[in-house]
Amino acid sequence: MHYNIYNRYNNYNRYMNKKILIVEDDQFLREFYQELLTGEGYLIDIAADGEVALQKIWENEYDLILLDIMLPKKDGLEILKELKNHPPKSDKVKIVALTNLGQDSVIKQCFELGVQGYLIKSALNPDQVLQEISSHLQKS
């Protein structure tokens, strides 16, 4: 028990300056991920649609972007295409797709457009999401 508390404290300190943008149109999921990640010490920003997400990506520096693919106004693939032509403010940002789309063609297209990870929301519990995020941030 003390080991888990110690690990959470160390993770909190290690990641408390890491800034993550959550791009998710579903309000429940957006708030869930925001609360989950804030509780781990991450600095969180949110966007509910693709147009707002692009503006935030171009105006702010993030360590990680969690990008849903199915979004209003501009979907995740459109965002990735625009970022190829007009890169994010931070050149070190990691982009991870966090979606329920599991088709091979969509996954392949995302990686071709520069994502570093692809997570299926319905296949992961909160601890697994945190583990994946931590893993991608450690690569930066």
Q: What are phi and psi of 74, to 5 degrees?
A: -140, 130
CA 115: distance to chain centroid?
10
Structure tokens that stand for 117 in this block: 């990870």
Q: How many residues does the chain have?
A: 140
> Is residue 4 very low, low, confident or very high in pLDDT (cuts 50, 70, 90)?
very low
pTM strictly above 0.85: yes
Q: For residue 139, what pLDDT is reported?
A: 80
Go through the domains of the chain in sequence order and give each one's CATH number: 2-138 (3.40.50.2300)
Confidence tier at 14 by pLDDT (50, 70, 90)? low
Predicted pLDDT of residue 114: 94
